[in-house]
Amino acid sequence: MQRLPESELDIMLALWEIEQPPVPRTYFDKKLAHKGWSANALNSFLSRLEEKGFLKSTREGKNKYYVAVVKREAYLRKEGRNILHKLYQGSIKNFMLSVTGQQGLDEVEIEELREYLDALKEGNRNER
């Protein structure tokens, strides 16, 4: 799976927000109006995403509808791992230090992280 440029990622993020696909082409006009893209630019981005296998379209009359082929979680997992390895040498500690900076984590965040790590550790034990 390839990394998406920002414009195409913006489209996929908008598409992933919808829980009842298929999504009409007009949805993107409204949702992404703040981007100031022309209709041709948006159509080009949608076509590229389709060529890359991230979404598929169907036509009903004059209207085109879109459905995500790549799931949000799959893309985020892949992109997250790429960022972790490229920018933080694969170190979660270095990533956390960068994200939290001087202020660190508050108690709620620490507890949430602890619960996640405990569940992860327990899951690894069950797989053995």
The enclosing domain of 17 has a CATH number of 1.10.10.10
Q: What is the pLDDT of residue 128?
A: 46
Q: Is the pLDDT of residue 86 over 50?
A: yes
Contacts 24+ apart (CB under 8 A), 100-105: none
In a domain, 28, yes or no: yes
Indicate whether 94 belongs to any domain: no
37 located within any domain: yes
Residue 66 pLDDT greater than 50, yes or no? yes
CA distances from 124 to 42, 76, 81, 113 (A): 44, 22, 19, 16
Residue 63: pLDDT band (50, 70, 90) is very high
On whether residue 33 sits in a domain, the answer given is yes
- Is there a domain that residue 109 lies in? no
- pLDDT of 102 reads 74
**Residues of the chain with pLDDT > 90: what percent?**
68
Residue 59 lies in a domain: yes
Q: Output 20 or 120, whichever has higher pLDDT.
A: 120
Report if residue 63 sits inside a domain. Answer: yes
CA distance 22 to 57: 8
Whole-number average pLDDT of the chain: 90
Domain that includes residue 16, residue range:
6-68
Nearest alpha carbon to residue 68 among 60, 76, 33: 76
pLDDT at 101 > cutoff 90: no
Domain assignment present for 85: no
Report the domain count for the chain: 1
Give pLDDT, residue 72. Answer: 93
